[in-house]
Amino acid sequence: MKTLQFREALREAMNEEMRNDKDIFVMGEEVAEYNGAYKVTQGMLDEFGPERVIDTPIAENGFSGIAVGAAMNGLRPIVEFMTFNFSLVAIDQIINGAAKINLMSGGQFPLPIVFRGPTASAGQLGAQHSQAFENWYANTPGLKVVVPSTPADAKGLLKSAIRDNDPVIFMESEQMYGDKGEVPEGEYVIPIGVADVKRKGDDVTIVTFGKIYHRVVKAAEQLASEGIDVEIIDLRTVRPIDYDTVFESVKKTNRLVIVEEAWPLASISTEIAYKVQREAFDYLDAPIQRVTMRDVPMSYAANMVESTLPNEGRIIQAVKAVCYASA
């Protein structure tokens, strides 16, 4: 094992895949000359040149359309959005283009394309730069949606995403790019659609993904000091969702809390709660609880940011609610 920053794990995944396949290229705002807005693509221009590491204008709809056309013609683009908030400008190319072309062409045009970049809140960035759209994209057949929480998962899942012949939405966090973690040496991939039980426990299951996972870990540590043993499932992929791992955990713990950063309406947590009550209802000893972003646009003030996001206090409260309800 070696220790890498989250950004370094992403870069290593892209470098390895680009060395192995000349059809892979990266494009986006400031990915080349500036070495990436978050330094994820640092050094890649020097190694692969301007034909494979391409700076674009501030025109998400335009360069996303170019990438879709390139994928239709046999190339394998990696598109970096400076933030997925800006992907809304390109959403027609993603939803009506990339997600649909394989079906509408009768399978004649696979779409091997990765759209990647940071999602959700990154601190005091205001309402237009603090939105989590994982559930929006996961609502769309034809797309796969990946949201890793650790450097090791980021590398293994990005390599799988780049090799996939379907379009993949790969969502990260600005606040995790500097996070360090152990990453396996040598070649490895993590299959898309497989959750990871990050912490085993017997009293309650928490399902989560992305950077909020780290708040769940802190909450679980505090709960452990109070005698509550939490099992943590990191989905890693929100389309497809690994429901079987969730069901098996709920059958063991008999209690479920779901934590995510998106707004509550039509969220990933809503869908998981529905599936669990359909498939594992008889195993539940308490109503399912969920902790999401509050149902408001994000404010700028630091205290309002903390109050709006899922935090350790709200997670602990939800866990105690399911535990004490069945006591």
Q: pLDDT tens-digit profile of 101-126?
A: 999 999 999 999 999 999 988 888 88
- What CATH class has 2-183? alpha beta
Residues of the chain whose pLDDT is less than 70? Answer: 326-327
> Model-level pTM?
0.96
- As beta bridge partners, residue 8 has none
Q: Is-catalytic flag, 129? A: yes
Looking at 17, 29, 60, 260, which residue is catalytic?
60
Residue 60 falls in the annotated catalytic set? yes
Q: Which of 17, 129, 134, 260 is catalytic?
A: 129
Q: Check: CB of residue 234 under 8 Å from CB of residue 196.
A: yes
Q: Count Cβ neighbours within 10 Å for each residue of 180-213 and write b for 16 or more, e otherwise.
A: ebebeeeeebbebbebbebbebebbbbbbbbbbb
Rg for the chain, CA atoms, rounded: 20
Between the two ends of the chain, the Cα-to-Cα distance in Å is 43
76 membership: H or E segment, kind and range: strand 76-80
144-187 confidence digits (pLDDT tens): 999 999 999 999 999 999 999 999 999 999 999 999 999 999 99
Q: What is the pLDDT of residue 125?
A: 85
Same fold, 2-183 and 196-325: yes
d(CA 44, CA 52): 9
- Lookup result for tokens 């301007």: 50
Give the pLDDT of residue 166: 97
Q: What pLDDT is attached to residue 130?
A: 87
Q: In the CATH hierarchy, which fold is given to the domain comprising 196-325?
A: Rossmann fold (3.40.50)
pLDDT of residue 124: 85
Task: Name the residue ranges covered by the structural domains of the chain.
Answer: 2-183, 196-325
H-assigned helices in 169-301: 212-225, 243-253, 268-279
d(CA 277, CA 284): 8
Sheet arrangement for strand 53-55: 53-55, 24-28, 76-80, 114-118, 168-172, 144-146, 237-239
